[in-house]
Structure 1
Amino acid sequence: MTRGWQRRFDEPIPLPRGRQLITLRDAGNYITKLPKADHDAAEWQAAMEALILVAESGGPTMFARIGIMQALNRHHVREFNPKQKEPHWGRRKLKRDE
């Protein structure tokens, strides 16, 4: 198993302008090149912490991926859609009840 900053994510992380983050080093470079206001945001700080832990301690790359994805989507507000799934309030129909 490869350890360190050269480890690859299971799937590349897509960035807003079409680029992709493939290795942990790519992700680290991307975070360090962010504008200071973004770089100092709590989400990006948490993503960088997870990235360092994965690279130096050999943890699963999924932890770093989750941190980066949360930071990338930090301004996205999920909307509640009550029409997504209608609840089934009726009684269950069993074969024996026919």
Structure 2
Amino acid sequence: MPKNEHDAPEWHTAMKALLPVVERGGPTMFARIGVLLALNRHHVVEFNPKGKEPHWGRRKLKKDQ
């Protein structure tokens, strides 16, 4: 791993979460989350204000007629 990536704080957190798994058989989910966050640290989640479009062709219920 390149030195600049090795020094990234996300990788330090992932390594700290991985050590209890290796040494004492700790929870693997925390290590998995740490590694996934470190791998995807440059991904920016974009907010979509439009959201889900409503389905305008929805049928009415009998009780609403």
Same fold (TM over 0.5): yes
The 5 Å alignment of 1:1-98 reads 34-85=1-52, 95=63
Structure 2: runs of 5 or more not aligned: 55-60
Pairwise CA distance, 1:86: 5.0
Larger radius of gyration: 2
Identity %: 69
Higher share in helix = 2
Q: How many residues align?
A: 58
Provide the C-alpha distance between the structure 2 equivalents of 1:64 and 1:55, rounded to a whole number of angstroms: 10
Task: Name the Cα RMSD after superposition.
Answer: 1.8
Provide the C-alpha distance between the structure 2 equivalents of 1:61 and 1:80, rounded to a whole number of angstroms: 30
